[in-house]
Amino acid sequence: MDLLDTLTAKGLRGEVPTREEALAVLATTDDELLDVVAAAGKVRRRWFGRRVKLNYLVNLKSGLCPEDCSYCSQRLGSKAEILKYTWLKPDQAADAARAGVAGGAKRVCLVASGRGPTDRDIDRVTDTMAAIKEADPAVEICVCLGLLSDNQAERLKAAGADAYNHNLNTSEGTYGDIATTHTYADRVDTVQKAHGAGLSACSGLIAGMGESDEDLVDVVFALRELGSDSVPVNFLIPFEGTPLAKEWNLTPQRCLRILAMVRFVNPDTEVRIAGGREVHLRSMQPLGLHIANSIFLGDYLTSEGQAGQADLDMIKDAGFEVEGAGEATLPRHRADLAEAAQAAGSCGTAASACGSGGGCGPCGGHAHTAPEAPASEGSASEGSDDELRSDLVKVRRRGAGTELAPNA
């Protein structure tokens, strides 16, 4: 296929496809799916070999968020029966992080619900990072606390944070359909603050909220222009008790096409399969490893993932290996660009350099409705109710905030 040959050649050179080429990936049929995966796999191996980076989530504060993000089980007004608790103590968070590191995680992601941190919250996270680093100085720490105010990113960097996560989630044109208590521009501003302070920018998207193909392409190109070093690809978990509980728009095949499109647009960037992996990719998760080079180990913020050992077995059985603590995730040229941009105190340099073609969630002006899928795509929304795997959506009842051992 000419399209895949072109995309492969561009990806091997680190070049970016056109918007039309990216859209064409999403329009491929199920008959072409393995060819799409194989093409994206060549690009993935060119820049990341057969390494899989493991990341581990610790939910420092769960639920009771004042923001109204429609996709989130922790949102204002959510009736989802999730765990709700206030800030974990540093030693509690460090214990949870230790379980993930022992399971093979290279990066620990510290997350807290809320609009954004207070200065006291930054102090809490600083103490938590110190406790984690004391146990394992080599572990990477990514922090996700919502919208940042001036100088907060600098404080986190000085305290030892390596990265900051804040997802764009969807396109600028449809952002107002999923949240009204903050804007797309607010999210862009936080990513820029984090990158400008010398933190690695981790920013991604959520697929499956009823967005169009154009929306997906818009947000992925926007993430590249922002200079995101890591792009987490979340697949909506339709929690009962949230406004998007009935949005079952994804099939395993659709998820793989989305991952492939993200890889082609970000050939030399960390692409992470994030929330919803087990719910939507299901038995096709190993194929996702041929496209993405990073996953979360074990459970997520408010939902359960598959057993940590099952993740490790899947990686081994698929012919991949866990990335070691001493191995650099990004290719050397990308790391150099990121360091140069961070030293300059601006993400604008990274955005222009990465975009030339030479990663905490989750532009067109399209209505926020589910696109009509070709019959060959086998959209879940076209099938009977018994085809929807809502039984795979399991609220987390172990790990952080409970007395039960974490899944790692």
pLDDT, mean of residues 288-294: 98
Q: How much is the mean pLDDT over the chain?
A: 88
Task: Give the bridge partners for 164, in sequence order.
Answer: 143, 201
CATH number of the CATH domain containing 31: 3.20.20.70
**Measured between alpha carbons, how far is 312 from 69 in angstroms, rounded to an integer?**
32
Residue at 115 is within a domain: yes
Q: Does residue 183 register a pLDDT over 50?
A: yes
pLDDT, mean of residues 133-153: 96
**What residues are labeled active site?**
65, 69, 72, 109, 142, 202, 272
- Would you state the pLDDT for residue 354? 30
pLDDT, mean of residues 359-381: 36
Residue at 135 is within a domain: yes
Q: How far, in whole angstroms, is CA 344 from its chain's centroid? A: 26
Quote the domain boundaries for residue 223.
2-366
Number of domains in the chain: 1
Residue at 405 is within a domain: no
Structural tokens at position 138: 């080599």
pLDDT, mean of residues 188-210: 97
Q: Which of 30, 16, 13 is nearest to 263 (CA)?
A: 16
Residue at 360 is within a domain: yes
| Three-state helix/strand/coil letters over 259-303 | HHHHHHHCCCCEEEECCCHHHHHHHHHHHHHCCCCEEECCCCCCE
Q: pTM for this structure?
A: 0.87
Output 33 or 389, whichever has higher pLDDT.
33
Residue at 202 is within a domain: yes
Residue at 44 is within a domain: yes
- For the chain, give the percent of residues with pLDDT over 90: 72
pLDDT, mean of residues 276-298: 97
**Measured between alpha carbons, how far is 247 from 143 in angstroms, rounded to an integer?**
29
H or E stretch at 10 = helix 2-12
Residue at 252 is within a domain: yes
- Would you state the pLDDT for residue 396? 86
Which residues 6+ apart lie within 8 Å of 162 measured at CB?
107, 140, 141, 142, 199, 200
Residue at 372 is within a domain: no
- Would you state the pLDDT for residue 367? 33
